[in-house]
Amino acid sequence: MIYKNDFGCNVIQFGTGDIEVGNGRVMSNDEKEMFPCCTFVEKPAGEIGALCHPESKDDPAEEREDIHTAFVFTDVRSVQVVIDHLEEVKERFKRNGSKILSMQEITDEI
């Protein structure tokens, strides 16, 4: 689900298979470069991780106008930073699931 929380923060909440996660490339605004990206599109809930159109997997890439959010990377080191933080999120989830924690417990969690 994609929404704004009570503080106005944009939230992409994963867990029901309603966010299509993809990757590809996007053109820079000056159209002189093209950068790798990870994309997020809201869709009806379904199986987590399932391909939306498995029959099109090897077809040529196509432009998408339904993308809600894109993580665009202009330096490969930035990709590793995101991966490292996602690994920490995974570890937090394994340890405490959706348990409500104090601020100190959040600090001490990993």
pLDDT value at residue 110: 86
pLDDT value at residue 58: 87
pLDDT value at residue 51: 82
Q: What is the pTM (predicted TM-score) of this model?
A: 0.84
CA 106 – CA 93 distance, rounded (Å): 11
pLDDT value at residue 42: 94
Segments in the chain below pLDDT 70 = none
pLDDT value at residue 52: 80
Contacts (Cβ under 8 Å, ≥6 apart) of 3:
10, 11, 13
pLDDT value at residue 98: 95
Strand partners, 41: 20
